[in-house]
Structure 1
Amino acid sequence: MAHSHTPAAHGHDPHSHGTMSQLMIGFAMAVVLTAVPFALVMSEVEMSRTLLVGIIMGLGAVQIIVHLVYFLHVNSKAEGGWTLAATVFSVIILVIVLAGSLWVMHNMNVNMMPVHNMDMGGETVGLSPEAPAMQGMDHSAHTGN
């Protein structure tokens, strides 16, 4: 008995995982959707920060949809199409990822900003009064070495 090695003979739909050309289209779109925001940030484009963040987040949302369609094969042909639950779940995940990314970036921006060491009077803030005198001292006298 001859065995057929076609995917259909083993109960698999040959179109359920996409063709190589569909995967390459998805890959190319993902690369472009990554390269464009990277180029915008690295070239320091003259635009408002709010618009730049909006463009980056919008392209990120499009990239998530590209991944869902081209790599996870969530489309109208797979398993009877998008059900209401799958659509709602995808939108919730998209909102969580985008809102969470904005929240993390905002908190990192606030918490990672450099601290200014000078107050309005020009004196160094945070040092004890004897600290300037101790800067020129030999530290071996204090360590016993």
Structure 2
Amino acid sequence: MANAHHSSDANHGSVKSYMIGFILSIILTAIPFGLVMYPSLPKAATLWIVLIFAVIQVLVHLVYFLHLDRSAAQRNNVIAFIFAALVIVLLVGLSLWIMFTIHAVMMAK
């Protein structure tokens, strides 16, 4: 029974990988926070940097905390995640497109 418990831990990361993920998360949060609190760049550049760091941080969380990788065991999870992300992007993107189109049509009259 103890062996069954240890075999399920094989998918979990080590303390080292969790610490790497934690430190990267702190860095990826502190830099955009500093850019917003102490503005030294144009607003558009700051926005793009914050968005890029947010995407990188999502990837760090997926790899180091959710253990998503290219292995055969994780293939179904990665495909499900990509499908969910695609559905969210389509839902939000098309909703915004509809709202802007309706606004443009309503303001034209």
TM-score, normalised with respect to structure 2: 0.67
| Local SS of the residue matching 1:18 | coil
Contact 2:32–2:53 (CA<8 Å) still a contact in 1? yes
Larger radius of gyration: 1
Is residue 17 of structure 1 aligned with residue 30 of structure 2?
A: no
Q: For 1:69 and 1:53, how far apart are their aligned partners in 2?
A: 25
Corresponding residue to 1:28 among 23, 30, 35: 23
Corresponding residue to 1:57 among 48, 51, 59: 51
Contact 2:21–2:65 (CA<8 Å) still a contact in 1? yes
Q: For 2:85 and 2:15, how far apart are their aligned partners in 1?
A: 25
Taking only aligned residues, the RMSD between alpha carbons, in angstroms, comes to 2.8
Runs of 4+ in 1 over 6 A off after TM superposition: none
Higher RCO (C-alpha under 8 Å, 6+ residues apart): 2
The runs of 5 or more residues in structure 1 that have no matched partner are 104-145
| Local SS of the residue matching 1:81 | helix
Q: CA deviation at 1:91?
A: 5.1
Contact 2:68–2:74 (CA<8 Å) still a contact in 1? no
Give me the identity figure in percent.
Answer: 32
Going from structure 1 to structure 2, the CA distance change for 1:35 and 1:50 (only over 3 Å counts) comes to same
Corresponding residue to 1:75 among 69, 92, 98: 69
Going from structure 1 to structure 2, the CA distance change for 1:80 and 1:62 (only over 3 Å counts) comes to closer
Q: CA deviation at 1:85?
A: 3.7
